[in-house]
């Protein structure tokens, strides 16, 4: 290899690793656009002041690099979301595109059909009245075509959304006699989990939502009841808890058999809901948020 080519390859490698996502507040103009598009409303559980836009680099399925990936998430989780997508970029994990949901007028079906990676959207769960965790800025959908939403009728008929996702009903990355498939969520479950998004829709029985990563609902209600500083402190402890448990109990971690930090705090405080307990006594919950030594009695599920 020529010296120039060698140096160029080194610089290319450095450029892949040096990607750094940025986090910025939601501007008044963007908030107005979100409202006009039906993505935001004054009845939404999270308003623009508590949301952040994460801008990141990504590589698409043709290997082309972009610097204009955008997701909108809750303020407390934004740095961790930035880290997730920096890691995906460094690993050359492909993302088809990532534009905020107002480009589709809040229409999740249109966004999925366009194979768009997205986060915040003030909407209900598909086919239900209760709010989606997207309405809290605490859920992320990646590559919906490669990771479709699959729901089942009473006659056990499966429907794939988007329809192109039926090509990925078989979830194997490597298949005999076929080319390797990229962009599937199974590869990044651990990356999302160690950055606070422990709950993957691929774990569900019905529907199965391969594209979807989120926190628990009790956790979401707690974080929006807190102020930004409190929520950031809590989420850091949540992430630290997961990483400690996975390090000290690798077998339980590999089998998804340990409690998350919310469940630990509920057991410690003897409450059934952390968000409800916070509503009754914020100081009690804040005082309980601390790093404890990890013991199997509290870390590993029985």
R_g of the chain, CA atoms, integer Å:
20
Mean pLDDT of 73-96: 98
Determine the pLDDT at residue 297: 56
Across 121-130, 197-206, 238-247, the highest mean pLDDT is recorded for 197-206
Nearest to 181 by CA among 192, 169, 189, 173: 173
Percent of the chain with pLDDT over 70: 89
Please give the Cα distance from 220 to 275 (Å, whole number): 8
What is the value of pTM for the model shown?
Answer: 0.91
Q: Is 113 exposed, middle or buried (0-12, 13-18, 19+ CB in 10 A)?
A: middle
Contact between 196 and 159 under an 8 Å Cβ cutoff? The reply is no
Contact between 74 and 1 under an 8 Å Cβ cutoff? The reply is no
CA dihedral 90, 92, 80, 37 (to 10 degrees): 140
Tell me the two tokens of residue 245.
């448990």
Confidence of residue 127 (pLDDT cuts 50, 70, 90): low
Mean pLDDT of 246-264: 88
Tens digit of pLDDT for each residue in 48-69? 999 999 999 999 999 999 999 9
Phi-psi region of 172 (alpha: psi -120 to 50; beta: other; left: phi over 0): beta
Please give the Cα distance from 299 to 285 (Å, whole number): 19
CB within 8 Å of 20: residues ≥ 6 apart: 82, 86
Confidence of residue 252 (pLDDT cuts 50, 70, 90): confident
Tens digit of pLDDT for each residue in 8-21? 444 444 444 455 89
* Cα 269 to the center of its chain, rounded Å: 28
Phi-psi region of 115 (alpha: psi -120 to 50; beta: other; left: phi over 0): left
pLDDT at 1 over 50: no
Please give the Cα distance from 73 to 51 (Å, whole number): 6
Place of tokens 């998004």: 197
Distances (CA, A) of 81 to 8, 140, 179, 274: 30, 9, 30, 23
First to last CA, the chain: 57
Q: Is 76 exposed, middle or buried (0-12, 13-18, 19+ CB in 10 A)?
A: buried
Tens digit of pLDDT for each residue in 131-174? 899 999 999 999 999 999 999 988 889 999 999 999 999 999 99
Determine the pLDDT at residue 258: 81
Determine the pLDDT at residue 295: 56
């Amino acid at each position: 290899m020529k010296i120039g080519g060698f140096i160029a390859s080194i610089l290319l490698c450095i450029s892949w690793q040096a990607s750094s996502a940025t986090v910025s507040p939601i501007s008044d103009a963007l908030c107005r656009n979100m409202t006009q598009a039906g993505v935001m409303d004054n009845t939404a559980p999270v308003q623009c002041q508590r949301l952040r836009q994460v801008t990141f680099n990504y590589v698409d399925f043709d290997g082309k690099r972009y610097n204009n990936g955008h997701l909108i998430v809750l303020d407390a989780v934004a740095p961790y979301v930035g880290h997730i997508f920096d890691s995906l970029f460094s690993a050359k994990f492909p993302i088809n595109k990532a534009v905020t949901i107002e480009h589709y007028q809040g229409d999740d079906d249109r966004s999925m059909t366009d194979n768009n990676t997205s986060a915040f959207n003030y909407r209900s769960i598909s086919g239900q009245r209760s709010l989606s965790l997207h309405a809290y800025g605490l859920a992320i959908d990646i590559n919906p075509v490669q990771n479709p939403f699959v729901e089942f009728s009473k006659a056990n008929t499966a429907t794939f959304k988007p329809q192109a996702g039926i090509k990925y009903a078989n979830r194997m990355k490597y298949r005999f006699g076929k080319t390797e498939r990229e962009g599937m969520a199974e590869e990044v479950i651990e990356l999302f989990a160690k950055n606070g998004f422990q709950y993957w829709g691929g774990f569900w029985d019905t529907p199965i939502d391969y594209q979807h990563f989120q926190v628990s609902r009790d956790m979401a209600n707690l974080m929006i009841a807190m102020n930004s500083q409190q929520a950031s402190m809590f989420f850091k402890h949540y992430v630290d808890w997961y990483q400690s448990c996975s390090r000290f109990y690798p077998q339980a971690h590999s089998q998804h058999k340990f409690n998350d930090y919310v469940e630990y705090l509920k057991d410690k405080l003897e409450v059934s809901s952390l968000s409800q307990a916070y509503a009754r006594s914020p100081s009690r919950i804040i005082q309980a948020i601390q790093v404890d030594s990890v013991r199997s009695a509290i870390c590993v599920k029985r």
